[in-house]
Structures are given as C-alpha cells and as structure tokens.
Amino acid sequence: MEFTLLYKTPTHIIIILLFFLSLLFHWIGYKIKQKRIVENRQTKNENLGPVEGSLLGLLALLLAFTFNMASTRYDQRRQVIVEEANHIGTAVLRADLYPDSIRIPLRSDFKKYVESRITYYNAGIDDEKLNDALQQSEQISARIWKRVAEAAQDPKNLVRSAQMIPAMNNMIDVVTTRDTTKNATVPESILWLLLILVLSSSFIIGYDNEKKINKVLITGFATMISLTVFVILDLDKPRRGFINNNRAEQKIEALRSMFVENK
C-alpha cells in the first residue's frame, strides 16, 4: 500500500496545525470584516446567519459521516483479527484428530504459522516487513495444506479430512481479508474536504463577528473540532495511532499457549 500524505503525517501534528489554522482563519475573517466595515458602513448590516448555519450544519454532517466511516473500518479490522484467531485455533485443534505421524509435523508447522502471523502484526507500517511476513505465512500455510491434502488421500482419514479441510480453507482465506481491511482507510479526498470545511467555517464565523473576538468561544470551537478530527484520523491509522488493535491481536498471541507441550 502506498500511504497518503495525511496517513504518513503523525496525527498530533495534523491536529496542532488544524487548531492554530482554525484560530488564524477566524482572525483573518474578523479582520477582513472590520476592514470592510471601515470602507463601507453598510457591510455591518450583512446577515450571514443562514450561510453560517448552513456551513456549520454541513460540517457537522461531514464529521458524522467521516467518523462513522472510520469507526466502521476500525471495527472491521478488529473483528477480522479475532476471526483469524478463531480459524487458526480451530485448525490447530482439528490437527489432533490425526495420528501422531501426521499430527506432530502439522502442529509444528502451525506453531511456525502462528509466529509468522504475529510477526505480520508487529511489522507495523513497514511494507518490506509486512510483505516478508505475508510471504512466510503463505509458504507455511501451503506446506500445511500439502500435508492435509496428502493425508486426505488415505480413506482412513476421510472423516478427519472432512473436518480439517474447511478449517484450513477458512484459515487461508481470512489472511486475504485481513490484508485487505488493513488497507481500507477513509479516502484522502474526504479528509481534505473535512479539513477545508473546518477552516472555512472558522473563517465565516470570524467574518460574521462584528464585535470583539470572543477568545473563549473560538478557542473552544477550535479545540472541540480538532479533538473530533483527531479521533477520526486516529481510528483510520490502526498501525500508527493511539487507537490500535493491540487487544484483538492478543488473541493471536494467545494461540502460543496451544503449543506449550511442544516446547
């Protein structure tokens, strides 16, 4: 995945810039209005209430839409990790159905597979490490599949294979799903639109202000908007932000306990 500018930039830097730019745009709007009032006294009677209300309403709508999109993707990423842990655990348990001649090498490969999936998560946003871990997982899963397929040729393993093959299919397929959800983020065009709308709202609020700047009001507005955008961006950066899937990933790490006997 080629990360975008907003994805590469740390969230706290974006939010700090957004906060101060909101204050700046409010101040610019206020100064422009004061200058126009000096040049033309009729400017003081401009009624921008409907425009300001519409813009703030649009901002609230886009914030809600973007927040829902980011939180949905975050939840999907969390669920697919738990789903993968369940599929791997099921396959490992069903390996015990086979006789030791098949079970022991299968469990050995499964142990390596679990470690490769943990490595995949620990790789963070390093594309090279991610690809290496993904390739390693594919190689090990292919080896496991080969063992299962060979065992299925024996009529004695008919029932065992009927249980094991669906579990293997699920375990292999969920890897693609997890890799896809990792790359599923809010389109950058929507995030840029959101940031532009925040600054435009700050400008209009400042322009519509004919009296002295209310520092408490504009600071509170900039703070709350910045915090909301912070949560949205952080939800959209599962491997970079403060809001992560570490707890869900512990389900994968917990699979190590299934191989204690092999240590």
Tens digit of pLDDT at every position of the chain (263 positions): 455 677 778 888 999 999 999 999 999 988 888 887 777 766 555 666 777 788 889 999 999 999 999 999 889 888 999 999 999 999 999 999 999 999 999 999 999 999 999 998 888 777 788 889 889 999 999 999 999 999 999 899 899 999 999 999 999 999 888 888 877 788 888 999 999 999 999 998 888 877 778 888 899 999 999 999 999 988 887 777 777 788 888 889 999 998 876 44
Q: Is residue 216 part of a domain?
A: no
Domain count, the chain: 1
Q: Is residue 193 part of a domain?
A: yes
Between CA 260 and CA 2 the distance in angstroms is 39
Q: Is residue 1 part of a domain?
A: no
The one-letter amino acid at 138: E
Structure tokens at 82: 């738990």
Query: H or E segment at 82?
Result: helix 49-95
The one-letter amino acid at 211: K
Q: Is residue 43 part of a domain?
A: no
Tokens 């006789």 -> residue: 99
The H helix count followed by the E strand count for the chain is 9, 0
Q: Is residue 159 part of a domain?
A: yes
Between CA 64 and CA 228 the distance in angstroms is 10
**Which range of residues forms the domain containing residue 178?**
14-30+72-210+225-262
Gyration radius (Cα) of the chain, Å: 27
Q: Is residue 42 part of a domain?
A: no
Longest dimension (CA), the chain: 96
**What is the pLDDT at residue 3?**
55
Between CA 202 and CA 222 the distance in angstroms is 8
Q: Is residue 237 part of a domain?
A: yes
Indicate whether this model's pTM tops 0.85: no
For residue 254, the Cα-to-chain-centroid distance in whole angstroms is: 22
Q: Is residue 160 part of a domain?
A: yes
**What is the pLDDT at residue 263?**
40
Structure tokens at 75: 């939840």
Tokens 């932000």 -> residue: 241
